[in-house]
């Protein structure tokens, strides 16, 4: 079947009737619930864009010939890699990079399963075939996915088997002819319950060993599978108009705790089972981490472009763009953007075919970008807040401007250098929603922890970095100086 439309995406959610809870109550229809309906409409727009720009967003399926989503495309050349990224950027041009789990993110993981399926067959050849078939199924049916990676934060100093309640985390309960029964809780599924299916990923932070094996698994199942429930945090879409909440009213994805109550996972949906070593290898060995990071860096570029646009528009609206310290802050954002673009360019143009036959970007460039951006994004948000100053708090609502009594007063009082009051406040509300509202605060938090704890990531980056060649440069330089060690030092050491 060809790529789906927005209407088909919504209809699938209605039919699925996923078990989603918010505010202590089960949601009857996520497509109509105020916490979810607006982001669902935004997701629907993404799927409609595939047909609005088919030359950019669709390609011929290698198995059926149907027009399917290009974000599933397995690149074999650098041109195809760039073509796939350009399809990603079409979606990011709509979301402005503020949807961390737009469909292209997990489509990158699925795409790698199409090529690297043999990796999953190390324990059982069935799992390799499962991975290959699932990649094809997801592509041909344009499956939308959420995913979950980590265990509940109970006692981070202990492995799961040594927790006071060792069964709280998702684990294998039993195996039977139909599949594997799993039970427990996983965190943290963004867009949980508003997609077709969930992928339970292998965590990359498990200590290899048999005690971790019951918690070491990877599979994919429909979101309406019996016993599967999504427990959503409170929504940051407050049902306000798009003037008051220009981003939160469209792109509030939601985050959920995922509860598995003796859920049956069929054998044909399992990719890894009770093997912590394979779990730890999965992302790196299949190059899933590379292709997913490729998507993330593209998203980060789109987000930084948008944030820079907001910074420049805000500057101009109140006439501060001529001040030295203001220009310097704008330059910080510009340098961030150009750095990210450079990382992406290097990654794509240094790409090579991997052992699975995928044209895979240069991970050195992408790894640097994914370690750097979480550290710098909070500063970008801070710059926007600093430039807005008190104006970020003096932001009347649409209803205030619509009031016959106070609207004219506000329209005059809130005017800027070259914009009227209503328009200037619209700019500042956008800046506020990007950085200071509940939605905006989540953006900063989400980016900081996008790939995990930045400190742990930095330690891993330091440990794997090729340091010897730089130390050798210094050693060679010092040798060339040919300086004789003073005799006083040698005699002193013999005392």
**CATH number of the domain within which 74 lies:** 2.40.110.10
Residues 219 and 316 in one domain: no
- Indicate the annotated binding residues for FAD: 147-149, 153-156, 190
Residues 404 and 331 in one domain: yes
CATH number of the domain that 423 lies in? 1.20.140.10
Angle between helices 288-318 and 78-95 (to 10 degrees): 40
Mean pLDDT in residue range 213-230 = 95
At residue 162 the predicted structure's pLDDT band, cuts being 50, 70 and 90, is confident
Residues 50 and 75 in one domain: yes
Locate 142 and state its tokens.
């344009």
Residues 98 and 209 in one domain: yes
Global model pTM greater than 0.85: yes
Residues 168 and 302 in one domain: no
Residues 235 and 143 in one domain: yes
Please indicate, yes or no, if residue 488 is contained in any of the structural domains: no
Mean pLDDT in residue range 327-337 = 98
358 contacts: CB under 8 Å, gap ≥ 6: 74, 75, 76, 112, 115, 116, 287, 291
Give tens-digit pLDDT for 398-443.
999 999 999 999 999 999 999 999 999 999 999 999 999 999 999 9
Please indicate, yes or no, if residue 264 is contained in any of the structural domains: yes
Residue 474 above 90 pLDDT?
A: yes
At residue 335 the predicted structure's pLDDT band, cuts being 50, 70 and 90, is very high
At residue 206 the predicted structure's pLDDT band, cuts being 50, 70 and 90, is low
Q: Measured between alpha carbons, how far is 206 from 202 in angstroms, rounded to an integer? A: 9
User: Per residue in 449-479, is it b (16+ CB within 10 Å) or e — as a string?
Assistant: ebbeebeebeeeeeeeeeeeeeeeeeeeeee
Look-up of token digits 């508003």 = 194
Phi, psi of 437 (to 5 degrees): -70, 175
Please indicate, yes or no, if residue 450 is contained in any of the structural domains: yes
Mean pLDDT of the chain: 95
8 Å CB contact between 95 and 251: yes
Please indicate, yes or no, if residue 483 is contained in any of the structural domains: no
3 state SS of 392: helix
CA-based nearest residue to 214, from 162, 164, 173:
173
The CA distances from residue 357 to 77, 282, 413, 414, in Å, are 10, 17, 62, 58
Beta bridge partners of 171: 183
| pLDDT for res 209 | 67
Q: Measured between alpha carbons, how far is 188 from 100 in angstroms, rounded to an integer? A: 13
Residues 164 and 218 in one domain: yes
Q: Measured between alpha carbons, how far is 192 from 1 in angstroms, rounded to an integer? A: 25
Residues 45 and 124 in one domain: yes
Please indicate, yes or no, if residue 494 is contained in any of the structural domains: no
Mean pLDDT in residue range 203-227 = 82
| pLDDT for res 485 | 84
Give tens-digit pLDDT for 234-268.
999 999 999 999 999 999 999 999 999 999 999 99
| pLDDT for res 210 | 66
Beta bridge partners of 146: 198
Burial of 47: CB neighbours in 10 Å, binned 0-12, 13-18, 19+: buried
Residue 368 above 90 pLDDT?
A: yes
Locate 244 and state its tokens.
């008051």
Kindly report the CA angle at 450 between 53 and 216, in degrees rounded to 5? Answer: 105
Burial of 26: CB neighbours in 10 Å, binned 0-12, 13-18, 19+: exposed
Domain containing residue 154: 6-284
Please indicate, yes or no, if residue 93 is contained in any of the structural domains: yes
Q: Which domain-ending residue is among 255, 284, 313?
A: 284
- Indicate the annotated binding residues for substrate: 101-105, 147, 203-204
Residues 243 and 355 in one domain: no
Question: How many structural domains comprise the chain?
Answer: 2
Residues 229 and 159 in one domain: yes
Residue 245: other Cβ atoms inside 10 A = 25
- Indicate the annotated binding residues: 101-105, 147-149, 153-156, 190, 203-204
Mean pLDDT in residue range 276-301 = 95
Locate 468 and state its tokens.
């010897």
Q: Give the strand pairing for 145-148 and 67-69.
A: unpaired
Q: Which domain-ending residue is among 227, 261, 284?
A: 284
CA-based nearest residue to 355, from 290, 297, 425:
290
| pLDDT for res 205 | 54
| pLDDT for res 203 | 66
Burial of 281: CB neighbours in 10 Å, binned 0-12, 13-18, 19+: middle
Please indicate, yes or no, if residue 479 is contained in any of the structural domains: no
Residues 278 and 292 in one domain: no
Residues 278 and 293 in one domain: no
At residue 212 the predicted structure's pLDDT band, cuts being 50, 70 and 90, is confident
Residue 204 above 80 pLDDT?
A: no
User: Maximum distance among all alpha carbons in the chain?
Assistant: 94
| pLDDT for res 306 | 98
Look-up of token digits 């310097």 = 328
Q: Measured between alpha carbons, how far is 214 from 222 in angstroms, rounded to an integer? A: 22
């Amino acid at each position: 079947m060809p790529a789906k439309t927005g209407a088909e995406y919504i209809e699938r959610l209605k039919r699925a009737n996923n078990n989603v809870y918010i505010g202590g109550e089960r949601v009857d229809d996520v497509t109509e619930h105020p916490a979810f309906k607006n982001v669902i409409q935004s997701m629907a727009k993404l799927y409609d864009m595939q047909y609005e720009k088919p030359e950019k967003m669709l390609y011929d399926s290698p198995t059926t010939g149907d027009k399917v989503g290009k974000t599933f495309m397995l690149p074999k050349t650098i041109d195809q890699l760039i073509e796939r990224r350009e399809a990603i950027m079409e979606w990011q041009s709509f979301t402005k990079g503020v949807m961390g789990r737009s469909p292209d993110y997990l489509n990158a993981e699925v795409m790698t399963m199409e090529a690297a399926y043999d990796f999953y067959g190390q324990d059982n050849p069935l799992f390799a075939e499962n991975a290959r078939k699932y990649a094809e199924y997801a592509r041909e049916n344009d499956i939308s996915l959420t995913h979950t990676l980590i265990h509940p934060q109970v006692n981070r100093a202990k492995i799961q088997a040594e927790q006071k309640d060792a069964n709280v985390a998702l684990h294998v309960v039993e195996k039977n002819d139909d599949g594997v029964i799993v039970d427990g809780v996983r965190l943290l599924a963004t867009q949980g319950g508003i997609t077709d299916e969930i992928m339970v990923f292998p965590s990359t932070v498990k200590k290899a060993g048999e005690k971790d094996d019951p918690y070491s698994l990877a599979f994919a199942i429909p979101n309406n599978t019996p016993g599967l429930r999504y427990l959503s945090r409170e929504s940051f879409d407050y049902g306000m108009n798009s003037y008051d909440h220009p981003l939160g009213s469209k792109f509030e994805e939601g985050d959920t705790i995922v509860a598995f109550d003796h859920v049956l996972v069929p054998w044909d949906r399992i990719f890894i089972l009770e093997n912590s070593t394979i779990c730890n290898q999965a992302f790196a060995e299949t190059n899933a981490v590379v292709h997913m990071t490729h998507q993330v860096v593209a998203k980060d570029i789109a987000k930084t472009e948008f944030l820079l646009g907001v910074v420049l528009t805000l500057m101009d609206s109140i006439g501060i763009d001529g001040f030295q310290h203001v220009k310097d802050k704008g330059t910080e954002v510009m340098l961030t953007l150009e750095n990210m673009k450079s990382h992406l360019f290097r990654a794509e143009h240094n790409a090579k075919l991997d052992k699975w036959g995928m044209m895979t970007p240069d991970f050195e460039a992408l790894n640097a970008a994914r370690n750097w951006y979480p550290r710098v994004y909070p500063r970008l948000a801070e710059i926007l807040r600093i430039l807005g100053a008190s104006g970020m708090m003096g932001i009347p609502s649409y209803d205030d401007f619509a009031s016959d009594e106070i609207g004219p007063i506000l329209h005059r009082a809130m005017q800027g250098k070259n914009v009227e009051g209503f328009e200037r406040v619209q700019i500042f509300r956008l800046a506020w929603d990007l950085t200071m509202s509940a939605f905006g605060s989540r953006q900063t938090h989400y980016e900081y922890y996008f790939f995990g704890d930045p400190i742990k990531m930095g330690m891993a980056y330091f440990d794997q970095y090729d340091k010897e060649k730089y130390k050798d440069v210094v050693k060679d330089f010092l040798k060339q100086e040919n300086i004789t060690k003073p005799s006083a030092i040698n005699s002193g050491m013999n005392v």
